[in-house]
Amino acid sequence: GAVVSQHPSRVICKSGTSVKIECRSLDFQATTMFWYRQFPKKSLMLMATSNEGSKATYEQGVEKDKFLINHASLTLSTLTVTSAHPEDSSFYICSARDFGSGANVLTFGAGSRLTVL
């Protein structure tokens, strides 16, 4: 089945630094990937839709200059949290849809836990 890999799974950084999270579709091509944020005991919240070869589409209230998304290839999207602050600490999850499978299943990565000190 479709596999989505996220890296790193955990990252701790100092306030003010930037952190990059990678999302890869391992056995399928994904023209569209999605980035979510999840706080403890809360729902996943869609941050942005990452489109291969074009600009990402951000949800209302998500700062595009803060959360940089790059989707340079059909198998890789990256989320960079710039000038991270403690309030950016969260669980970030990506997902991708394998249109080739015909099953309309959205596959999620395992998530990346960011802690900003």
Partner 1 sequence: KNQVEQSPQSLIILEGKNCTLQCNYTVSPFSNLRWYKQDTGRGPVSLTIMTFSENTKSNGRYTATLDADTKQSSLHITASQLSDSASYICVIYGGATNKLIFGTGTLLAVQP
Q: Decide if residue 90 touches partner 1 (CB under 8 A).
A: no
Alpha helices in the chain (DSSP H): none
Residue type, 47: M
DSSP designation for 59 = P
- Single residue of 11, 46, 68, 76 touching partner 1 by CB under 8 A: 46
DSSP designation for 86 = G
Least distance to partner 1, CB of residue 57, Å: 11
- Single residue of 25, 78, 90, 95 touching partner 1 by CB under 8 A: 95
Cα-based torsion angle of the residue sequence 96, 97, 99, 103 in order, rounded to the nearest 10 degrees: 150
∠ CA(5), CA(65), CA(19), 5° rounding?
40
Nearer to partner 1, 75 or 112 (CB): 112
Q: Decide if residue 111 touches partner 1 (CB under 8 A).
A: yes
Least distance to partner 1, CB of residue 83, Å: 26
- Single residue of 3, 12, 106, 117 touching partner 1 by CB under 8 A: 106
